[in-house]
Amino acid sequence: MKKIGIMTTGGDCSGLNTAIQRIMHGASLRGWDVYGILDGTDGLCTNPPAVVKLSDMMLPIENARLAGSFLHNGHSNALNFETAAETGHLDTFNKKLRKSLKTLDLDALILIGGNGSLSLAWANRSIYRDLQLVCIPKTIDLDIPLTERTIGFDTAVQQLTSFCDQLMLTARSHHRWFVVQAMGRDCGQLALHAGIAVGATAILIPEIKFDVNNLIKQIKQSPVDYGVIIVSEGISLRGHSGRPADMISRKLTSAGIPNRTAFPEHTQRAGDTTATDRILATRFADCALTAIENGETYVMTVLENDLVHTVALSDVIENGESVADPKIPELFTSNAYVNSDSPLLALAYDMGIYIGELK
């Protein structure tokens, strides 16, 4: 009988509970014991480790659609990779993780995380040397290399689209423009997808240069006097500081364009998990369990050409754009961004959406 653990790390998103429930259920069908590690790596810093044995009665399938993580994702003031690096206690932190994993005596650990968590897992892979490590990608940013989708992204797109749909109604009533700031860090996938879905007048993302004067011209030439401009949180405007949506709003106001800003913020990481995300979480869960059966380790599940399979975690790291972590200088995260040849960029351009200086 195998003994496996599940851990969710980094920011939460919809679809985590679906993945947890499907892993637990699939493992129980195989006769395996499943333990959930509470609060991510924080749960491995306690003595004894903070874990709970999972079962169908504990995680009923009707609750798997809920956002967030049943296992939690960690306390803001707890010891983790970032706080340990900042305070010079990284060696102590790593020793605690190794000791806890040895105490738990797991055969395998399924880590459900974003690009930061996966990059950390690879950089500190010696911690997991005595067990199989299988990773599942989750993030609303869709910034993890080699996979076409991540758990949580589709629900986040739906959440942001629904938010903008409601703003569009009041925008029309008051002949006004709304500048909506989307999450996504320095990746524009969320803003791009939701912007096309809602029929935004403009979409500004970090990957594509934009000209504020051309944005203003686009708005003034619009056949209607209202609409939504979606701004990714990772954009910058030379000579200006503050929140990106506020910076763009001030420019529009100076040009005589009536507007308001709107910040959906963490509602993008909430909401009942969409069917698409539930299916993806189920496929990733099944793939992860199969990987454990096959003796794989240091791998990540991916969606590629509608097929789910595993790739080496080292390939994920090597194929991404390496960026230094601002909180852990010696750590480089592996990132994926909107490619200049993305069909959605061309689609936005063809639909008359201002997407920046694309051509």
Q: Which residues are catalytic?
A: 141
> What are the residue ranges of helices labelled H in 183-312?
189-198, 212-220, 244-254, 275-293
Exposed/middle/buried for residue 340 (C-beta within 10 Å: 0-12, 13-18, 19+)? exposed
Residues 6+ positions from 260 with CB-CB distance below 8 Å: 176, 177, 178, 179, 249
Q: Which two tokens stand for residue 39?
A: 């609060």
Collapsing DSSP states into helix, strand and coil, what is residue 323? strand
Please list the residues that pair with 51 across neighbouring strands. Answer: 37
HEC profile for 54-114? CCCCCCCHHHCCCCCCCCCCCCCCCCCHHHHHHHCCHHHHHHHHHHHHHHHCCCEEEEEEC
Q: Are 273 and 67 in contact (CB under 8 A)?
A: yes
Q: Which two tokens stand for residue 121?
A: 């897992």
Collapsing DSSP states into helix, strand and coil, what is residue 177? strand
Give the closest residue to 333 by CA, choosing from 177, 199, 145, 61: 145
Collapsing DSSP states into helix, strand and coil, what is residue 324? strand
Residues 6+ positions from 169 with CB-CB distance below 8 Å: none
Cα–Cα–Cα angle for 110, 2, 61, rounded to 5 degrees: 60
Phi and psi (nearest 5°) for 267?
-65, -20
Exposed/middle/buried for residue 306 (C-beta within 10 Å: 0-12, 13-18, 19+)? exposed
Phi and psi (nearest 5°) for 140?
-80, -10
Residues 6+ positions from 145 with CB-CB distance below 8 Å: 115, 316, 319, 320, 334, 335, 336
